[in-house]
Structure 1
Amino acid sequence: MAIQKGLSDSALLELVQQQTFRYFWDFGHPVSGMTRERSSKAADHGGDVVTTGGTGFGVMAIVVAAERKWITREAALSRLHTIVDFLREADSYHGVFPHWLNGSTGKTIPFGRKDDGGDLAETAYLFEGLLTARQYFDRDTPGEKELRNKINLTWQEVEWDWFTRDGREVLFWHWSPNNGWSMNHEIRGWNECLITYILAASSTTYPVKAEVYHRGWAVSRHFRNGKEFFGIRLPLGFDYGGPLFFSHYSFLGLDPRGLKDRYADYWEQNKNHTLINREYCVHNPKGFKGYSADCWGLTACDTYDGYNAHSPENDFGTIAPTAALSAFPYTPAYSMQALKYFYYQQGKKIWSQYGFTDAFNESRQWYASSHLAIDQGPIIVMIENYRSGLLWKLFMSCPEIQAGLKKLDFTSPQLK
């Protein structure tokens, strides 16, 4: 793809958002409309692997596209009807969708040997998107009313409380009719799953009690931190913060500005996590080629030998554009600096028909050709939240979310 010279900052942001959106629009599954897992073949299942969480991100991207008039409101509505109609018929387990579906048939594609049932975190990302779309398509027309009704039915069928495994005070990530609870993966913080607990507490049909949040999520060896790294205080999580997607996925809809509970100020958490990740790259203790104030951002992404969740404590020289670009609300000046480097300096190698490819490693002269749904989506959504706050306003306007946050003792300027 040709690189356009001399763009204004706002024009560059618009270009990156719009080009990245093509991943979800042009490359959406032709039958279901859902988001494909990746642009390269996934797990030998060809082009039919669609991803539940990535579809949630894609739904939010469609809302952005309609608002910015890259597509018509009618086209966006039609695509969302296709997606929701498909989900209404697709495999689910106590209302919870699997990580992967076959985009033609709606049948579960196992994500792992025992991971062949409901995936609660992926389902949370899906509903983060669907509830946002429900709030956006608010007109009193037959098509928009029908979409809202179908989203509400699907949302109300999710049995969040089932995933407490007979009433334990923690949520479990997986359940399968074939393997039951054998994966035994408790969802405890701090990581990317805050939204899972907030949605579970916000359900009007199968909610979990507040104690599940306070005694499940907020209890682990990796929840509280409080130490300083590069002179920057980190309230929660692993030392150095872990991969940057921890501060992206839950906060595509959840507005961190002024969001606080008894454990943290989530704006401070996410901003400081980002600053620590960047400072690590600037200091570059392992001496990887390319790391600088222009080129930073460690998160989960494709790399030269597969896929890895990169962080300051798990660093092999691979930079993912999504890390710095999805941090635009937290570090706008630093993220713009990185964007200009990715586009103008590395663009010939990583800029494509669907925006930036997933990652690159200058030390190994490796540049991805692939794109991943869960990395592309946050670029569009978080740049939009930086530019207009659109998705934050929509998601936080959900009455269920308002009630759920209050139930968990959150405070926010967005709570009425």
Structure 2
Amino acid sequence: MPRQNTRPWAYGLPAALMLLAPFNILASLGMDIYLPVIPAMPGILGTTPAVVQMTLTLYMIMLGVGQIVFGPLSDRLGRRPVLIGGAVLFALASFALAATTSAPLFVSLRVLQAVGASAALVAVFATVRDVYAEKPESAVVYSLMNAMLAFVPALGPIAGALIATTFGWPAIFVALGAPAIAMLTVALPAWHETRPQRHERERPAFGPVLRSPAFWTYTAGFGTAMGTFFVFFSTAPRVLIDGAGFSELGFSLAFASVAVVMIGTARLAGRVVGRWGIAGTALRGLTLLILGAGLLLPGQFLATPSFWSFVAPMWVMAVGIVFITSVTANGALQEFGAIAGTAVALHFCVQSLITGLVGTGFVIALGGDTAWPLIGYSAGMAALTLTALLRLGRRRSRPQPV
């Protein structure tokens, strides 16, 4: 039987955030810092753009799917060993990525890097739940962690462009591995076990979650929103660098403008949800995705790729993404208070599969050097989710049998 840790978590909030947040940020940075060199990677690795796309897709999928594995593992073995193992794997894979130009090995190492990132993420948020679940600081911790993450898409590509221009593309991966090792030297003496004692072995209850129409509707909404952003950053380097002639730094600044719109919209999300509710906010967000896809069409038909034909319509979609992501977790999980951990793991796992597999399908099928994958994915998935949301609303409005 696992032993309960009796050592209290004695860190104040600033110290705790300095210990927790870097692992959270590094996991996300592993995706965004790499974007400016995406157009150059087929030539560097001697492969095709489709194979390079897989280095994004598999990373995204493993971040979500890994939670199904590492959540129960952290309950069984503890948060500390999962964190340490994940951080070591992330660092070693990052250093190895900097040293290889073999396409098969590069793809495999990206999977291992994502596995390490997923383990670290699970350990971070499991620790936050252990320490702050019954404390008023929990809302502050989550809001600050999410605020930090919001800046990663804005600053990550800029950092990647500057690093690649100054030191070469391998330095991007060194810049991921070195901080992971540095944080490990801090975490090893400071991060003690927080897992509570389990008196009996609990089995995940997937059935009730997977049978819920609300879970599937709102999880599909989350996948639609995150997948729209995934398709945007999968296509943006080739559209803007190869098609529009942007420099790596110019691309990064254009990309950051979308992240800035998302950050600004997030500050208004609380008022928006309070006014329109969960379903109303999701509906308006999905509508904005369809509107943004429509605004991309004239540029695709009538103009060459440019900031105004490709990035500006994405600002509209960015507002929709924030509206959707601000409510879909509550919409999907509100029925499952007693099995919240299992529901959360499934929610993120399913949305990562939607984002990675369906989003990549659109990029490969419609061409990653045009706006068509973004138009097709955002409009198509938003229309399907809108239909499901309206059906869910009608079902809930029917009188229930007594």
TM-score, normalising length from structure 1? 0.24
Specify which structure has the higher proportion of helix: 2
Larger fraction in strand:
1
TM-score normalised by the chain length of structure 2 = 0.25
